[in-house]
Homo-oligomer: A and B are copies of this chain.
Amino acid sequence: MTDLNHTKSQFHLPEGLIYLDGNSLGPLPKTASKRVADTVENEWGEMLIRGWNTAGWMAQPRKTGDRIARLIGAEPSTVVMGDTLSIKVYQALASAIDMRPDRKVILSDNGNFPTDLYMADGLLKSLKQGHELRIVEPEQVAASIDDTVAVVMLTQVDYRTGRMHDMAALTRKAHDVGALVIWDLAHSAGVLPVNLTGCKADLAVGCTYKYLNGGPGAPAFIYVRPDHADTARPALAGWLGHDAPFDFDMDYREGAGIDRFRVGTPSVLQMAALDAALDVWENVDMQNIRAKSIELTELFISEVEANCPQLGLASPRDPQERGSQVSFTFENGYPAMQAIIARGVIGDFRAPDIMRFGFTPLYIDEDDVRKAAKIIGDVMRDEAWDRPEFHQRSAVT
């Protein structure tokens, strides 16, 4: 197996727990506690207002953006941190719509994370310009891209099943008809070898609390292709995206390049935790991460399928079409997942019937996978899953 064990020791993993939910919230990197405490006590506590310059708080969203750029195949100075993923989706879409004023269709799919669709819907309702949010099946996206489409807005990896879109092919197809593409990398960043520069994506957004382990409430990122960044209108035109924020001009004047996509004050404590989490990546090759991710998910599928005939694989069987999670359908998935968690394997449940397990190669190894599969097998064998109360409980979740 691909060896990444030197990174496992860099995380605090509670004793006796196998954590297969890093696709929802990554665990605590050991250095993050100290880094956050230092930011609170020595920076906020001692520097007070001077921390914005002396401790570098003001520059942090760009510095951290550069560290993330390396992990998603982007050039330096193309990524900046801030806000939440929902806000960055909105900003990216509002900006992209502005670049295609003559087209009215925003194309997405029903495998997108709901908040992306909600934010788009909220934006279009504000605009009142006759745009349509067209939502198709994931398999129909390619065929639905035509020259009425202004923006294709997709999440690369489906949060329920782990099904992956082909970023390069769909981006090329969109560009062929003059549409722009926004990629949401929530379930990609930190676990897949994304190549934003290579696939010529127009904009991309993502969160940092999943495979990047930035902690609960960690800031989001936004990528804008360099040839758009100097002309794009950032839509959320906050003072920290202004060309000279501390001139306090009455009029907004966009900053250069990606800087204009900053909005308000950065979340300094969250940025500190995230920056510590990114230290883990210093000597990690994303191709090795991907190789190990495939080994782990392949092993998990074969072990679970050998022991749990009740579970149906909901993820693509071909690892090339799958992100770093494995999902199974089971009608009593909710109580079954509660029973599995009670025995120390943490996955999660997504309505109506999805049991979801995420594999973060930085701290999950073959031994964890075998143990987890055994516990899942034990739960599925031990419990009387055909008892009527389970059916009732399942029905109300």
Contact = CB atoms under 8 A, between A and B. Distances in A.
Interface string A229-268: 0000111111100100011111110000000000111111
Contacts of A98: 126
- Give the oligomeric copy count: 2
A57 B113 CA distance: 21
Interface stretch (A18-26, A62-70, A295-303, A371-379): A18-26
A36 to B, nearest CB: 5
Interface stretch (A37-45, A149-157, A190-198, A310-318): A37-45
Interface in A193-220: 207, 209, 215-217, 219-220
Contacts of A242: 114, 118
Contact of A48 (B27, B36, B50, B246): B27
A38 to B, nearest CB: 11
Interface residues of A, number: 85
Contact of A248 (B12, B87, B350): B350
A264 B45 contact: no
B118 A252 contact: yes
Contacts of A284: none
Interface string A251-293: 1100000000001111111110100000000000000000000
A48 B26 CA distance: 7
Given A114-B248, A115-B238, A86 B264 contact: yes
8 nearest CB pairs, A to B: A84-B264, A122-B237, A115-B239, A217-B267, A86-B264, A216-B268, A86-B238, A217-B268
24 contacts: A17-B48, A25-B49, A28-B45, A36-B40, A36-B269, A37-B40, A44-B215, A44-B216, A49-B348, A50-B346, A52-B216, A57-B216, A86-B264, A97-B126, A114-B250, A121-B251, A121-B252, A122-B233, A122-B234, A128-B129, A217-B268, A219-B267, A247-B351, A269-B269
